[in-house]
Amino acid sequence: MYYFKWFGYTQEEKPQLGYSACSNKQELLFLLQQQGIKSVHVQEIRYNLLSPCTFADRQAVLNELSQLLQAHIRLSQALAIISSLVKKEYTKQVLLFCMRCVDQGKSFPVAAAQYPALFDTLTIHALKAGHDSGLLAVACTHRAQQLMEIAAIRSKVRAALAMPLITALFFVSVLVFLMAVILPQFKKIFIMLKSPLPASTQFLLAVSDYVTLFNVSIALMGLVFAGTLLFGFSRTMFGKKVYDYLLLGTPLASSLYKDLARAQCLQSISLLISSGQTLSHALRHAAESFTNSMIKAELVAVQQDVQKGKPFFKALCLSSLLSVPEVINSVTIAHETAQLEILLQQLSGIFRSRALKKLDRITLFIQPVLFILLGAGIGFLLLALYLPLLQIPQAF
């Protein structure tokens, strides 16, 4: 699907600029002609790096859609109302496109699937399940709640990593300033002493001679080039597999990542089941929502066993992510009580809380380590600078 920026003139020859989401350029020209817009210049807008919609935008649209549907407002009218309330032009035009499709008798999930920036894969599956089962409002409510929880976790992670990153950046800036400005002044004094310098001082002076504007620029360009290569490698199939393996295999990060992945997986399965999907379809669609190829392959294996008639709690043994005692025991109980979606939702909350606690512990561990390294670095600098000065009385 496409998002266009257009410029044309009204029947009164007044210039008009606008944005529209349409299936193709011909459909846009036809719609503008019906509105009396002529001499139209159309340009397609592409979003390659930055998404035009945030988690907050998706959550707000689904939450408002749920409330309007629960108030027994028709779907097309609800989409029109939400489009009049949103501020982002992209979101407004996508909702208007979905409204036109619904008015023409087309399926809302099919129309929404054409704009993944606003309606991601899991949202589409939830909408389709809710649409087919008559529980569209419930599906929107549950997915909006899930997006809100994911946004809260991301905000928590960013806040936890902000202070360590700021501390590290401050330390590097102070170090570069000392090497480029302070040490050259001390070097003049050391030359006047004409006495042998300690190895630590010689090392600092050598680093100071290297830290010039030209060399720092070269180093920054090298870092940018290396980062570009690393980013490109991570986009390849092999690089993606290596990245996925590191996420699951790195000692400190894997435990946190696995708990977050378990919470997302269990909540997604619960969402899809409560929206009207079968367990087999919920597992397949939950697997599609993951970008980690290893987790996706495990969930597909579980889904295939469930589709063959194997009990869910036995099929979970194929997944290293979900074959933990808490999940196995809860699913076994759910198999007997027929309350699978409720127990999975509760489990996802448990794993999410556990992940947030681990994040707090990691943050508390990282910050003291950074301060210790900062203090040790400053102590080394002071010692290396003042050792030659302490030898001045001995030189005379």
**Exposed/middle/buried for residue 39 (C-beta within 10 Å: 0-12, 13-18, 19+):** exposed
- Whether 189 and 314 map to the same domain: the answer is yes
Sole residue written with tokens 């909006």 = 144
- Whether 231 and 314 map to the same domain: the answer is yes
Helices (H), 178-278: 183-193, 199-210, 213-235, 237-249, 251-274
Q: Which of 97, 121, 148 is the last residue of a domain?
A: 148
Taking the chain (396 residues) in consecutive chunks of 10 residues, what is each chunk's mean pLDDT? 75 76 77 77 70 83 91 91 89 89 90 88 87 86 85 80 78 76 74 72 76 69 83 79 80 82 87 85 86 87 89 85 85 78 87 85 78 79 74 55
Q: Which of 100, 121, 148 is the last residue of a domain?
A: 148
- Whether 106 and 229 map to the same domain: the answer is no
Query: Could you tell me if residue 112 is inside a domain?
Result: yes
User: What DSSP string runs through 23-64?
Assistant: SSHHHHHHHHHHTT-EEEEEEE---SSS-S--HHHHHHHHHH
Q: What is the pLDDT of residue 217?
A: 73
Q: Are the C-beta atoms of 70 and 41 separated by less than 8 Å?
A: no
- Whether 76 and 60 map to the same domain: the answer is yes
- Whether 279 and 368 map to the same domain: the answer is yes
- Whether 83 and 32 map to the same domain: the answer is no
Q: What is the pLDDT of residue 233?
A: 77
- Whether 326 and 310 map to the same domain: the answer is yes
Query: Could you tell me if residue 90 is inside a domain?
Result: yes
Distance CA 146, CA 148 (A): 5
- Whether 61 and 199 map to the same domain: the answer is no
Token readout for 234 is 């991570």
Q: Which of 148, 183, 214 is the last residue of a domain?
A: 148
Query: Could you tell me if residue 293 is inside a domain?
Result: yes
Give the end-to-end CA distance of the chain in Å, rounded to a whole number: 82
Distance CA 231, CA 43 (A): 29
- Whether 113 and 184 map to the same domain: the answer is no
Distance CA 201, CA 188 (A): 13
Token readout for 302 is 């579980």
Diameter of the chain by CA atoms?
A: 98
CATH of the domain at 162: 1.20.81.30
- Which residues span the domain enclosing 12? 2-44
Q: Are the C-beta atoms of 62 and 130 separated by less than 8 Å?
A: no
- Whether 69 and 191 map to the same domain: the answer is no
Q: What is the pLDDT of residue 193?
A: 67
Q: pTM above the 0.85 mark?
A: no
- Whether 138 and 182 map to the same domain: the answer is no
Query: Could you tell me if residue 49 is inside a domain?
Result: no
Token readout for 196 is 């042998």
Instruction: Give the chain's count of helices (H) and strands (E).
Output: 18, 3
CA-to-CA dists, residue 52 to 6, 109, 271, 340, angstroms: 18, 20, 25, 36
Edge-first strand order for the sheet with 38-44 is 15-22, 2-9, 38-44
Query: Could you tell me if residue 179 is inside a domain?
Result: yes
Task: With CA atoms as reference, report the closest residue to 156 among 354, 348, 356.
Answer: 356
- Whether 286 and 229 map to the same domain: the answer is yes
Domain total in the chain: 3
User: What DSSP string runs through 62-88?
Assistant: HHHHHHHHHTT--HHHHHHHHHHH---
